[in-house]
Chain A
Amino acid sequence: MQIKVDPSVIGQTRWYEYAIRFLFGGLVTVAAGIIAKRFGPGIGGLFLAFPAIFPASATLIEKHEKEKKEAKGLRGTWRGREAASVDAAGSAMGSVGLLVFASIVWQFAPRYSAWIVLMGATVAWLTVSVLIWYVRKQV
């Protein structure tokens, strides 16, 4: 299956849907900092992998797919749920990459420059995630 870029999605998303994701992202980042200060980095660190905008994103995918089908005169409820489910399965694969990201920062942050470690860990997250996705597609 080919990976494609679909810019039409930008037009489908309303301004308040972008605002909700910005708000949740900002709030979770603030909360992670406050929790780490109050309860220590051991607890605060858990929230670095909190599914902050997952409910908002899944709802958005479900809604957009449903609207697409309904515009063609079809019932889109099932298609919307299926799309959100497939997206969640992709996120489960991506979470392995997230684990690799965390392991790299844990091991290398005390020894190397912060920006190099964070960049390297992000590249590793993407590489591992895409590799798992690709292998899953081949099986």
Chain B
Amino acid sequence: MSQILIRFLVGGAVVSAFAILGDLLKPKSFSGLFGAAPSVALATLGLTIATEGASYAATESRSMIAGAIAFMVFASCVSWAMMRYKVSALLVTICAVPLWFGVAFGLRYMWLK
């Protein structure tokens, strides 16, 4: 239970820190870089290495490559859809989440299995 609480607090703090950093910077295309910051990875991998070992963290990181490619597809589609269609950011981003799942799990089973 305490491990979950630590993960929650560390994760929330690291993600918020990168998000605030992104908010502060201009232009928007540059601050957007911080939307793809390795915040969840930093919060998780430090704790994972300490509890499960470096090999376990390396396996997670290998899969993270597929997640990062899926993130690229997700963010590109969101950017395109918001310019192309007259829909809100919330609707586009939520509708695009299944795309992230499709690409991430597709790559995992085709390439990283």
Contact = CB atoms under 8 A, between A and B. Distances in A.
Interface of A: 1, 3-7, 9-10, 13, 18, 21-30, 32-34, 36, 41-55, 57-59, 61-62, 80-99, 101-103, 105-107, 109-110, 114-115, 118, 121-122, 125, 129-130, 133, 136-137
Contacts of A95: 36, 68-69, 71-72, 75
Interface string B10-45: 111111100110111111111111111111111111
Interface centre among A6, A47, A94, A103 (most CB of B within 10 A): A94
A92 B64 CA distance: 15
Nearest 8 pairs between A and B by C-beta? A90-B32, A29-B11, A25-B15, A45-B63, A49-B67, A94-B36, A26-B12, A45-B60
A67 B88 CA distance: 15
Contacts of B16: 18, 21-22, 25
Contacts of A58: 78, 89-90, 92-93
5 contacts: A85-B82, A92-B76, A95-B75, A101-B64, A106-B65
A21 B97 contact: no
Contacts of B47: 33
Contact of A94 (B34, B43, B62): B34
Nearest to A93: B33
**Chain B interface bracket (under 10, 10 to 19, 20 to 34, 35 or more):** 35 or more
A48 B67 contact: yes
B31 A48 contact: no
A69 B27 CA distance: 17
B12 A121 contact: no
Given A82-B83, A98-B38, A114-B54, A48 B29 contact: no
A61 B93 CA distance: 13
B79 A30 contact: no
Contacts of A99: 65, 68-69, 72
